[in-house]
Amino acid sequence: MRLGLLGGTFNPPHIGHLVCASLAIEALELDRVLLVPVNEPPHKAPEGDPGVEHRIELCRLAVAGDERLGVSLVDAEVPGPSFTVDTLSRLHDRCPGDHLTFIVGGDMALSLPTWREPAAILEL
C-alpha cells in the first residue's frame, strides 16, 4: 500500500489539513493518507491543548466520510515527545510492505536537516 502520513498537533484539524491530504493522494498516487496526531510535540507545546484524546476525536470527525483518509494513533499512544524518525520506524515495523510517504509543508521540509536523524527519515 502507498501510504501518506500527515503528522501534527491538529489543534484543531482544519480544511487546510484535509486539502493537503487530498492533494497528496492525487499528486503522489497514494492509496490512503493518515492524519497522525502527536501526543506531545517535541519542539513546541501546543497552546490551549484540549488533550490528545480530544484532538484524535476531532481528527476522526474531520476525515469521516472519506475512505481515502484515516487517523493513526502511532504517535498519540507514545508518552512524551515523539520524533518523526521514531514514528516512521514504528510504522515500518508494523507494516513492512507499505511504501511510506511523510507529508510536510514547505517550511518544515526546509528545516529537515535539523531534525533528529534526517538521513534515516529519508531512508524510511
Quick: pLDDT tens for 14-31. 999 999 999 999 999 999
Report residue 107's pLDDT band, with 50, 70 and 90 as the boundaries.
Answer: confident
The model carries a pTM of: 0.93
Is the pLDDT reported for residue 42 higher than 90?
no
Domain borders along the chain are 2-123
Q: What is the per-residue pLDDT for 108?
A: 80
Helix (H, G, I), strand (E, B) or coil at 97: coil
Residues 6+ positions from 34 with CB-CB distance below 8 Å: 3, 4, 5, 6, 69, 70, 71, 72
For 2-123, CATH number? 3.40.50.620
